[in-house]
Amino acid sequence: MNPKPALALILMAVTSTAAFAGEGMWTPDNLPKAQVQAKYGFTPDAKWAERVQKSALRLAGGCSGSFVSPNGLVLTNHHCVNSCVQQLSSAEKDYIKSGFLAKDEKDEIKCPEIELNRLDQIVDVTERIRKATAGKSGEDYSKAEKAIKSEIEKECVGKDSADTRCDVVDLYRGGVYDLYKYHRFQDVRLAFAPELEIAFFGGDPDNFNFPRYDLDMGLLRAYENGKPVKVKEYFPFSKNGAEDGEMTVIVGNPGGTDRQLTIAQLDFARDDELIPYLMLLAERRGLLEQFRSQGAENWRVAQSDLFGTENSFKALRGRLQALQDPAVFELKRKQEKELRDFVDADPARKQKYGAAWDEIAKAVALHRNIEDRYNYIEYGRGFYSRYFEYARTLVRGAAERGKPNAERLREFSDSRLPSVTQRLFSTAPVYPDYEKVKLGWSLAKLREALGTDDAFVRQVLGKESPEALAKRLVDGSRLNDPAVRKALWEGGADAIAKSDDPFIALARQVDGDGRAIRTRYENEIESVIDKNSELIAEARFAKYGTSVYPDATFTQRFSFGEVKGWDEKGEAVKPFTTIGGAFEHATGSYPFALPQSWLDAKGRLDLGQRYNFVTTNDIIGGNSGSPVINKNAEVVGLVFDGNIHSLGGDYWYDERLNRAVSVHSGAILEALRKVYGADALVKEIESARR
Amino acid sequence: MNPKPALALILMAVTSTAAFAGEGMWTPDNLPKAQVQAKYGFTPDAKWAERVQKSALRLAGGCSGSFVSPNGLVLTNHHCVNSCVQQLSSAEKDYIKSGFLAKDEKDEIKCPEIELNRLDQIVDVTERIRKATAGKSGEDYSKAEKAIKSEIEKECVGKDSADTRCDVVDLYRGGVYDLYKYHRFQDVRLAFAPELEIAFFGGDPDNFNFPRYDLDMGLLRAYENGKPVKVKEYFPFSKNGAEDGEMTVIVGNPGGTDRQLTIAQLDFARDDELIPYLMLLAERRGLLEQFRSQGAENWRVAQSDLFGTENSFKALRGRLQALQDPAVFELKRKQEKELRDFVDADPARKQKYGAAWDEIAKAVALHRNIEDRYNYIEYGRGFYSRYFEYARTLVRGAAERGKPNAERLREFSDSRLPSVTQRLFSTAPVYPDYEKVKLGWSLAKLREALGTDDAFVRQVLGKESPEALAKRLVDGSRLNDPAVRKALWEGGADAIAKSDDPFIALARQVDGDGRAIRTRYENEIESVIDKNSELIAEARFAKYGTSVYPDATFTQRFSFGEVKGWDEKGEAVKPFTTIGGAFEHATGSYPFALPQSWLDAKGRLDLGQRYNFVTTNDIIGGNSGSPVINKNAEVVGLVFDGNIHSLGGDYWYDERLNRAVSVHSGAILEALRKVYGADALVKEIESARR
């Protein structure tokens, strides 16, 4: 008896690759032209692709977006600008609650931590990297790889580090290395955000579900030299928005998938990464829920973190469920066996690639032993606080900037510094009492993970309780003041050495342990996995050719699909909801309450207007804010979610059930016009139509 | 590469059953006399066993204890009386913080919810039950089994339901049914409890760890007719307490083990029970942590629940780790295969038992589909509140008491009613603001588990948010008053029908759904598993004979072991700590702060006195408060914990690493005498020596 979803069905769905469907997150330089032509009668040619590539945007913090007017107007999700909206708010002026509309450009307010990236160029640098790492392993491999990447990025940026961002991207898990050159925008201002109540109608209960009724949108504007940027490439809105059965293209930046991991890595992901992290998230969620419930100001202060926590929890819970399904492992085992059999069948291939899987398994076993130390000491789980983050950036930044570019920790290489300082000098408010709660809790988790008698834990806590230590550190620190941080950054190593700020002292104190465990991780685990994943990628190319897509890497990808509902346990789920449905589903209680603006506008609204909809496009976290476009590269919708079945998409794509969830472009215009009276913005969007 | 603990070692440890060690939780009527004689040169004869059986006690709420004087004095753990100590406290008089000592008997205070059970008789009723259920299945089986059990229990109790408790116990998962007849004590008074700071020194971080420095003890006294009960059988304290290498017997009530589950059940336990429940516990933990941090009164109100939550979380986390270990599953698969091969080898056996495993797998698959509804609606996860518990007891109690005994829900059968009313009429305080937090949160989890659009969820929440509903219910209810509950209980069905208390209304409203899902569970899952587990148990007896022990069932068990440290990754862990060690390990900060009484007493204390120690006895949750006795049936210690390796003990016993953790009897006397000046209690204990 197999009590889990029928294996046969799932295998059928996946192995019938002949029928191209929504599967695939394709790089802009390798679109599946023939398949798209065969299925939709449309060829995404080079000119079309370039226009799309340059109209689309990445939000460096973890989202996607796009230009929707020649005047630098950017469409993305509310949940991608939520933290900006919160940072611009105060106890007196709460834009999370009231929404925000700049009457005209001069009322637009700068988001302290948003950076936009437009992908301008892709260059293959595989050979250069292979040459630099050839014959190396362990620490040598790790150093060589780091050095050549920093060198390539620095060359690419040149003297333009403020406006240009260059990242070496590792595609196909080492099969291809590409240099992605971006135009960087750091002066990004908020133009419009609706109330959270309508942007996130249904809240966590409805998250990753459908039907939905959310206006999860926000409008930003990119500035340069104090003026809205003029752009050549942008997406106009289509006349009518998405239609049933229509082909849809989603262009955005899926954060990461794990479709090419080995079985050993998947075991590790399930038992050693997802399960412990989900329990940590669950506890943090309870903590933040109770903190938030203590009055309106606490609600405002914690809501963005709580949203992030709940969103991650639900997404990762879905991933875990996929990995708990024996059928998924069966599929993965079958795929791995096929490739290994192919490798073993030829002596030369076997000699070259045959050991790669076992080498990865060995590295994973080692990872299992050190992952708690790495996660809690170096990755920051034990020091959950903005103060500590600032302190570490300052302490490390001072040390690293004194070294040659190629020898620095990657995040402090010249090409990355503008992102570092944007966050460090951010004017976003820091709430000391809230920071005490988060830090005290995470220090207790540090002790729990490593043990009371661990030398590092003893060194950090001394004779204090986690809560008392957190209070003393926060009360004694001035790092909540951006000017203090700026002075310390500019003062360099000397200023850091002399600082008596308790967070700087803590960051100095733990720096050695953090670096030590990171070095072990990089030299003994990461470098082994990178090297052997490269070999597996080569074997995969040898067997399957290059007509495959790489795992997602938070870089630009195209996904081709169509507007289509699905069958949920025998019931058909229709692809569209309407604005009228939102009024029917409102209970008046959070999170199912509509804002007053919508209640007031009900009589004016077209209740039949399509509101949210689903498509078969293959997307994942990071795609939030991606435009949904048609063949003419016009916006027909705005991605904001996936359905519950999309969560297993980390490991495989299930065409029958996996759906992207978007706001219809018609609803965006309807709401801007009739609820918010955002006439100038509507006019700007509509006059951008060609 | 197998990155988990070496399989070979584990298999070796388990299959070498020739060398009898600590493994086994033996029923009083089937002690492993020959093995104990062979290993320790001691035969636990019938007279010895009876004395031990009747000196030991069960705390019906989930712990163990024992009589330690002829005058009804009972030794158990602080964490077993913790909720009583909290219930007897108030904002003004916090015994959790200050500890409690009754100067003499008249100062002893009644614990509102503690019931003690002394096991007086065991009768085999297997044949009677088999006869009643013969040839039945599904609903018929379930009804017949319930009816015969209630009939047997009622006969046994006779007219003495206040003093006598009778439970039919299902041993060997249906291999044997025994009737356990207990003397019931409900007038149980608190004589002594130390401060939480020393009882639970090290707190959650040190829980399930060793070395330890905890005085996790409490003293109760059983009363009858207003006077201390005189008992014939009790355990005197030994002169010196536990010695290194000494044989130790632990007699107590291990709550439950899963050593005889099928692979299908173990899969279910891991993926469908442990993981979701751990995430729920983690979130509840975060919620309670933050609630508790909001001032001293919140701390006092939430500490008992938070202890329970953290304790469960850590224990179940350990169980999950065991089930994540491929070696444990390998072992279980091997054992299952051996038994199935044995069954399949003989046509008659195959005919009789062969289908049992697949039948259980089918029931488990069905369980997977309905477990959320069962857990959240019927089992109470969606209604985490004392108010709701009271309301459900009242609503169901009124309906059930109107039916013949054999047709009632089991918990309302005549023999169980005294336990029901003890809890219902309890004078323990109820804290409305705290109840709102717990209930609001659990209603949100109900919605999360079943879905926003679920009909039951919609019926419960209506248009309200979980928090608003919880507030309205608590504000409108009078069920926090024991007199109101008593009147409703005594008023019966009529009073319940007329009540406009909002919790009574809610319990009435959800009663049908709860009963419906419970019926499905009992008829389609439980009865199938019971019936087929019986068959597997018979097959196991046929293969292995009766020289095996049954899974734990929260009934009395004997475990034989010895005082012995273990090897922790190459380092020897010594079996004893000393009182001096507590002073060395104290930091002064919670939970590593010693109470003032200990700081003041330091000069008087024998710092070399053995304090906590470990033994190889096979125990599990429910054994808390069990006496550790020597061959002479004298107390040498008091069980309060297991080490971290003991947590996998739910599934198998690992002699190399699994250890029980106890307070040394010498430390108990030392502290009572020199820290607490409890001279009368010390005198009573010492004069009980024979």
pLDDT tens for residues A464-515? 999 999 999 999 999 999 999 999 999 999 999 999 999 999 999 999 999 9
A590 close contact with B: CB closer than 8 A: yes
**A248, A540 in Cβ contact below 8 A?**
no
**B63, B80 in Cβ contact below 8 A?**
yes
Minimum CA–CA partner of A449 in chain B: B205
Among the partner-chain residues A447, A468, A590, the one whose CB lies closest to the CB of B205 is A447
Between vectors from CA A108 to CA A106 and to CA A114, what angle results, nearest 5°? 140
Report CB contact under 8 Å: B588, A463. Answer: yes
Mean pLDDT in residue range A185-211: 97
Give the CB-side neighbour count of residue A640, counting CA atoms within 13 A: 33
pLDDT tens for residues A602-650? 999 999 999 999 999 999 999 999 999 999 999 999 999 999 999 999 9
Q: How far apart are CA A168 and CA A150, in angstroms?
A: 8
A524 close contact with B: CB closer than 8 A: no
Beta strands in B535-659 (DSSP E): 557-562, 566-568, 571-573, 576-578, 610-615, 627-629, 635-642
B568 close contact with A: CB closer than 8 A: no
Q: Which residues of B touch A286 (CB under 8 A)?
A: 282-290, 441
A279 close contact with B: CB closer than 8 A: yes
The residues in B 311-340 lying below 8 A from A, measured between CB atoms, are 317, 320, 324
In the predicted structure, residue A44 carries a pLDDT above the cut 70: yes
Report CB contact under 8 Å: A279, B279. Answer: yes
Report CB contact under 8 Å: A361, B3. Answer: yes
| pLDDT confidence of residue A182 | 98
Report phi then psi at A652, rounded to 5. -165, 160
Report CB contact under 8 Å: A589, B465. Answer: yes
A432 close contact with B: CB closer than 8 A: no
Report CB contact under 8 Å: B589, A368. Answer: no
- Report which of A40, A42, A62 is spatially closest to residue A52, judged by C-alpha positions: A42
B154 close contact with A: CB closer than 8 A: no
| pLDDT confidence of residue B545 | 80
pLDDT tens for residues B587-635? 999 999 999 999 999 999 999 999 999 999 999 999 999 999 999 999 9
In the predicted structure, residue A19 carries a pLDDT above the cut 50: no
Report CB contact under 8 Å: B589, A464. Answer: yes
pLDDT tens for residues B161-183? 789 999 999 999 889 999 999 99
User: Would you call B93 exposed, middle or buried from its count of C-beta atoms within 10 A (0-12, 13-18, 19+)?
Assistant: exposed
Report CB contact under 8 Å: B290, A358. Answer: no
Q: Token match 């009789």: residue?
A: B352
What is the interface size between A and B, counted as CB pairs within 8 Å?
124
Report CB contact under 8 Å: A271, B324. Answer: yes
* CA-based nearest distance B669→chain A, Å: 29
Report CB contact under 8 Å: A448, B204. Answer: yes
Q: How far apart are CA B211 and CA B184, in angstroms?
A: 36
Q: ipTM of this model?
A: 0.94
Beta strands in B40-158 (DSSP E): 56-59, 63-67, 73-76, 100-101, 109-110, 116-124
Q: How far apart are CA B484 and CA B425, in angstroms?
A: 9
**B40, B247 in Cβ contact below 8 A?**
yes
What letter would DSSP give residue A556? Answer: -
**Where in chain B are the domains?**
7-115+186-258+550-687
| pLDDT confidence of residue A20 | 52
Mutate which: A268, A452, A584, A585, vs B, most B CBs within 10 A: A452
- Which positions ≥6 away from B628 have C-beta within 8 Å? B242, B248, B249, B250, B615, B617, B635, B636, B637, B638, B639, B660, B662, B665
What letter would DSSP give residue A65? Answer: E
Mean pLDDT in residue range A298-304: 96
In the predicted structure, residue A9 carries a pLDDT above the cut 60: no
| pLDDT confidence of residue B19 | 40
Report CB contact under 8 Å: A293, B452. Answer: no
| pLDDT confidence of residue B30 | 93
The CATH class given to the A7-115+186-256+553-687 domain equals mainly beta
In the predicted structure, residue B7 carries a pLDDT above the cut 60: no
Among the partner-chain residues B3, B279, B447, the one whose CB lies closest to the CB of A365 is B3
- Report which of A71, A354, A38, A352 is spatially closest to residue A222, judged by C-alpha positions: A71
In the predicted structure, residue A16 carries a pLDDT above the cut 90: no
Minimum CA–CA partner of A5 in chain B: B365
| pLDDT confidence of residue B546 | 72
In the predicted structure, residue B2 carries a pLDDT above the cut 60: no
Ranges B12-16, B105-109, B137-141, B652-656: which has the least confidence = B12-16
Give the SS3 label for residue B137.
Answer: coil
pLDDT tens for residues B421-451? 999 999 999 999 999 999 999 999 999 999 9
pLDDT tens for residues B551-579? 999 999 999 999 999 999 899 999 999 99
> For chain B, what is the total number of helices (H) and then of strands (E)?
27, 20
The residues in B 466-485 lying below 8 A from A, measured between CB atoms, are 467-468
Give the CB-side neighbour count of residue A362, counting CA atoms within 13 A: 9
B459 close contact with A: CB closer than 8 A: no
What confidence category does residue A21 fall into, taking pLDDT thresholds of 50, 70 and 90? Answer: low
Mean pLDDT in residue range B192-208: 97
B441 close contact with A: CB closer than 8 A: yes
The residues in B 363-392 lying below 8 A from A, measured between CB atoms, are 364-365, 368
Among the partner-chain residues A275, A462, A588, the one whose CB lies closest to the CB of B463 is A588
| Residue environment code for B537-565, b if the CB has 16+ CB neighbours within 10 A, otherwise e | bbbbeeeeeeebbbbbbbbbbbbbbbbbb
Mean pLDDT in residue range B140-146: 94
| pLDDT confidence of residue A10 | 35
Share the mean pLDDT of chain A: 94
Report CB contact under 8 Å: A452, B290. Answer: no
- Which positions ≥6 away from A15 have C-beta within 8 Å? none
In the predicted structure, residue B391 carries a pLDDT above the cut 80: yes
What is chain B's Cα-based Rg? Answer: 25
Q: Which residue stretches of A136-274 are H helix?
A: 138-157, 196-199, 203-206, 263-268
* CA-based nearest distance B199→chain A, Å: 18
A449 close contact with B: CB closer than 8 A: no
Minimum CA–CA partner of B265 in chain A: A3
Q: Token match 């990865």: residue?
A: A360
* CA-based nearest distance B312→chain A, Å: 14
B159 close contact with A: CB closer than 8 A: no
**B531, B141 in Cβ contact below 8 A?**
yes
Q: How far apart are CA A144 and CA A147, in angstroms?
A: 5
Sign of CA dihedral B453, B459, B465, B470: negative
What is the bridge-based pairing of β-strands B218-224 and B109-110? Answer: unpaired
B275 close contact with A: CB closer than 8 A: yes
What letter would DSSP give residue B402? Answer: T
Give the CB-side neighbour count of residue B62, counting CA atoms within 13 A: 10
More confident residue, A635 or A8: A635
Minimum CA–CA partner of A446 in chain B: B205
Q: And the tokens for A465?
A: 């309780």
Mean pLDDT in residue range A277-289: 98
3-state secondary structure A306-363: HHHHHHHHHHHHHHHHHHHCHHHHHHHHHHHHHHHHHHHCCHHHHHHHCCHHHHHHHH
| pLDDT confidence of residue B591 | 96
pTM for the complete prediction?
0.94
% of chain A at pLDDT higher than 90: 94
Share the mean pLDDT of chain B: 94
Q: How far apart are CA A105 and CA A216, in angstroms?
A: 22
pLDDT tens for residues B627-672? 999 999 999 999 999 999 999 999 999 999 999 999 999 999 999 9
Q: How far apart are CA B647 and CA B653, in angstroms?
A: 10
A205 close contact with B: CB closer than 8 A: yes
**B623, B639 in Cβ contact below 8 A?**
yes
Q: Token match 């040498």: residue?
A: B636
Report CB contact under 8 Å: A279, B589. Answer: no
Report phi then psi at B269, rounded to 5. -60, -45
What confidence category does residue A328 fall into, taking pLDDT thresholds of 50, 70 and 90? Answer: very high
| pLDDT confidence of residue A546 | 72
Mean pLDDT in residue range A536-558: 92
CA distances from A87 to A109, A135, A299, A388 (A): 11, 49, 14, 19
CA distances from B628 to A668, B231, B252, B670, B681 (A): 72, 20, 9, 17, 19
Cβ-based neighbour number of residue B623 at 10 Å: 29
**A170, B420 in Cβ contact below 8 A?**
no
CATH of domain B7-115+186-258+550-687: 2.40.10.120
In the predicted structure, residue B347 carries a pLDDT above the cut 90: yes
| pLDDT confidence of residue B690 | 75
Q: How far apart are CA A34 and CA A44, in angstroms?
A: 9
| pLDDT confidence of residue B20 | 52
pLDDT tens for residues A61-116? 999 999 999 999 999 999 999 999 999 999 999 999 999 999 999 999 999 999 99
